[in-house]
Amino acid sequence: MGKWATLLAQLDDDLSTGNWRTSSYSTPSGKSRTFQSLKEFTQFYDWVEARANREIGAVTARTYARPRSS
């Protein structure tokens, strides 16, 4: 499991137990984060999830392609 995926697993565990309020998280790049609100936590969760997906090569559902014009 990669570094971002490991962090994502920790976030999952803490979200399910409510420990996100008292935990501090360090990203693989060395930044440390704590959260005051669920909104802040879920924004961080989404950010980490995107990096974990890139790390394992997962395809995301988003696309920014525009249809060809005739």
- Per-residue model confidence as pLDDT tens digits over 44-60: 999 999 999 998 876 55
pLDDT digits (tens, 9 = 90+) for 12-40: 999 999 998 888 999 998 999 999 999 99
- Has residue 11 been placed in a domain? yes
CA atoms within 13 A on the CB side of 33: 20
> What are the structure tokens assigned to 63, written together?
């696309």
Residue 34 domain boundaries: 3-56
How far is the C-alpha of 20 from the C-alpha of 10, rounded, in Å? 9
Residue 69 lies in a domain: no
Tokens representing 21 are: 């309020």
Q: How far is CA 60 from CA 13, 27, 46, in A?
A: 23, 21, 12
State which H helix or E strand residue 38 sits in.
Answer: helix 38-56
* 67 found inside a domain: no
Domain count, the chain: 1
Integer-rounded Cα radius of gyration of the chain: 15
